[in-house]
Chain A
């Protein structure tokens, strides 16, 4: 069976993508998936060549024909998302696609219509296939687009006989994160030794526990606050979570990003060595 690893942190900016792109360079026999569909960044370092793209349809959205509308007010009364004004004017940007207005309209003036809310891509990179996506500005159903990315990644893995899918996860604990985590073999939680980073990483570990997904952890920029780093180590010990490595603060990570390269390609220095060691331990953790 194809193994799946998702890299998550709860808080953004902890180094998920820096670590995930380096893993992409180090792993063998794998497919890469960028599950941060509303702010995808992996492609900046991986420079994919798009082989296949497909249109993503999110939820249908209400469309109203004012010529048929008799202003009965049923749509306004029944919509729970404020998409209709008291004069029955429709605000499509507030529509959540539930279709209740279509259901209650007595004269069929409202139709739910399909619309394009994003795109998904299957690409080639110098490290193997990448599945990625772009959610259109401000759209809903991003969790569904993440699910599509994961489905396509599994198909690519199966058709090309790849044994591993590396998933760069989004921040938060909501629908996109849940879609990026459910059913994977392992999650790597990236901690940052700040009170905010710890707060959010603990929440994402709760999510992993809820869905019974095995978790391991690493600490990025561990030397920014040694007391917090010790607290993280204690916490992980108490939770039975293996800490597979500690990455020092190092400006080389930014330099690599500026050069649009992964850390392990850009340098052989201590930062690169640490990430290589972490990758070895992650592989063993499966």
Chain B
């Protein structure tokens, strides 16, 4: 089974839910898809070890052959190539690696080389492996890394994906092709607003989902009322507990520091299993 933990708003507790759920159930693994700011590994003692680089194909220009005809620059939808005067300029960070420039070049002046955009690391234990990806500083597009990360899902295990925040392409990629999505929110105006945005996305993708209210006790009951009106299952409420916040700040999972919370995650998983 594959479960993604997502939320529109950042900092609502995606990583908390993902890590503690993985620790509370048998035979699980964790894949952190927030390649711009992965945090799951912080809650595991074992070091992360590099598994592989992630690259996309990028054009290499043979300037002796190039006639500066400008067809590649005109074609590139991402404005990664431009011809200024007698010079061809290539902006590697804007390239999506589609290969169109190579196809369109009339004199075969373009070959492709690997452009490194980030890497994938593995940690955790044999019982609970943890994978994450890191987008290189100054690289804009993390989706190719997320796609490769998803390949590490082991069909014999319950795979928990920790999604990036937002509702744009990286988050969509993490919410696609899974059996269930847990949407984490907090009971505040910001929390509810961003939850509704995420629900718009998840309904388009079509993945079954339920909501977890984190830091319950702050704010009010607006998320409860919304879920009831929309017929959305409420999977759990995690109380606003200063002890939990302190453990979090030190990188200690709440089910390790406060074992009473384990039951909450076991029940959450039970509810999900009944729905999938």
Interface residues of A (CB under 8 A from B): 10-14, 17, 38-39, 41, 44, 59-60, 78, 80-81, 93, 96-100, 103-104, 135, 137-140, 142-143, 170-178, 192-196, 199-200, 203, 206-207, 210-211, 224-225, 228, 251, 254, 257-258, 260
Contact = CB atoms under 8 A, between A and B. Distances in A.
Q: Choose among B36, B205, B219 the residue with the greatest number of A CB atoms under 10 Å from its CB.
A: B36
A140 B170 CA distance: 9
Given A138-B169, A175-B140, 7 more contacts: A11-B11, A13-B9, A44-B190, A139-B168, A195-B251, A196-B251, A254-B218
6 contacts: A11-B39, A39-B9, A41-B190, A100-B98, A143-B140, A174-B36
A135 B168 CA distance: 8
A265 B236 CA distance: 34
Contacts of B10: 11-13, 39, 171
B168 A203 contact: no
Contact of A44 (B15, B140, B169, B193): B193
B26 interface: no
Interface in B205-264: 205, 218-220, 245-246, 248-251
A31 B261 CA distance: 46
Q: Choose among B100, B104, B171, B246 the residue with the greatest number of A CB atoms under 10 Å from its CB.
A: B100
B264 to A, nearest CB: 21
Contact of A257 (B11, B167, B188, B248): B188
Given A171-B10, A207-B137, A193 B249 contact: yes
Nearest to A175: B140
Interface stretch (B151-159, B194-202, B266-274): B194-202
A207 B171 CA distance: 21
Contacts of A193: 249
Contacts of A60: 77
A3 B42 CA distance: 37
Contacts of B59: none
B190 A257 contact: yes
A203 B142 CA distance: 15
A176 B190 contact: no
| Range of interface residues on B (Cβ < 8 Å) | 35 or more
Contact of A174 (B39, B135, B204): B135
B225 to A, nearest CB: 15
A34 to B, nearest CB: 12
A173 B11 contact: no
Contacts of A206: 137
Contact of B12 (A13, A103, A138): A13
A210 B168 contact: no
A176 B168 contact: yes
Contacts of A97: 77
A98 B137 CA distance: 24
B64 to A, nearest CB: 25
Contacts of B57: 80
A251 B189 CA distance: 15
A100 B193 contact: no
B124 interface: no
A146 B255 CA distance: 39
B42 A199 contact: yes
B129 interface: no
A200 B135 CA distance: 12
